[in-house]
């Protein structure tokens, strides 16, 4: 059986950080999605974003521990929740004018009642500039959980490599 020779398909792949990779493997931050066929590729980036939102939502609503990042949470004296993320697993990147490293993450929290019903949640994107070579990435959340909350679940998703970590607190 003979197979016809075909031109190789060149794809742009959306990374976990929602940046685009070029066919040569380098970053093409502003490059549009391209296709070699006549049909336009619509909605690919939206599908990736929806998939990531679903993954983060599942991590936040689950009781399963996600340990791609080691996360510790504590309330500061100012009332902010401080999330310390161990540097192992964090995607550190440079790109600042002073060549210092930083990490980017989506941080989220949900609070639950005694029956396990979610009472509320919040999420935001954070950037942490690395100041100590082996130090944690530190993110903050201004949270005032609803009365009746008995469990807080914090989730951090690294925007560079997609690693996720969660921590649950029942005493706060």
3 state SS for 4-56: CCCCCCCCCEECCCCCEECCCCCECCCCCCCCCCCCCCCCHHHHHHHHHHHHH
Comparing 10 with 58, the larger pLDDT belongs to 58
Domains of the chain: 65-169 (2.60.40.2150)
* Region of residue 18 (left: phi > 0; alpha: psi -120 to 50; beta: else): left
Nearest partner of 90 among 66, 71, 109, 108, judged by Cα? 71
Comparing 52 with 85, the larger pLDDT belongs to 85
Residue 90 has pLDDT above 80, yes or no: yes
What local confidence, expressed as pLDDT, does residue 131 receive?
74
- Mean pLDDT, residues 137-152: 88
What local confidence, expressed as pLDDT, does residue 13 receive?
35
Q: What is the pLDDT of residues 98-143, one digit of tens each?
A: 667 888 899 999 999 999 999 999 999 998 888 777 788 899 998 8
CA 118 to chain centre: 21
What local confidence, expressed as pLDDT, does residue 52 receive?
82
Nearest partner of 149 among 107, 114, 108, judged by Cα? 114
């Amino acid at each position: 059986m003979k197979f016809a020779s075909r031109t190789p398909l060149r794809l742009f792949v959306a990374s976990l950080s929602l940046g685009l990779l070029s066919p040569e493997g380098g970053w093409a931050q502003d490059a549009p999605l391209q296709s070699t066929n006549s049909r336009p590729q619509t909605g690919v980036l939206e599908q990736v974003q929806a998939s990531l939102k679903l993954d983060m939502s599942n991590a936040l609503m689950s009781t399963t521990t996600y340990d791609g990042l080691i996360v510790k949470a504590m309330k500061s004296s100012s009332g902010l929740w401080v999330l310390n993320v161990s540097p192992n697993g964090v995607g550190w990147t440079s790109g600042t004018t002073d060549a210092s490293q930083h990490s980017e993450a989506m941080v989220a929290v949900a609070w639950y009642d005694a029956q396990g019903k979610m009472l509320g949640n919040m999420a935001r994107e954070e950037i942490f500039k690395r100041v100590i070579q082996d130090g944690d990435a530190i993110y903050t959340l201004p949270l005032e959980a609803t009365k009746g909350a008995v469990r807080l679940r914090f989730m951090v998703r690294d925007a560079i490599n997609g690693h996720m970590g969660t921590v649950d607190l029942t005493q706060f």
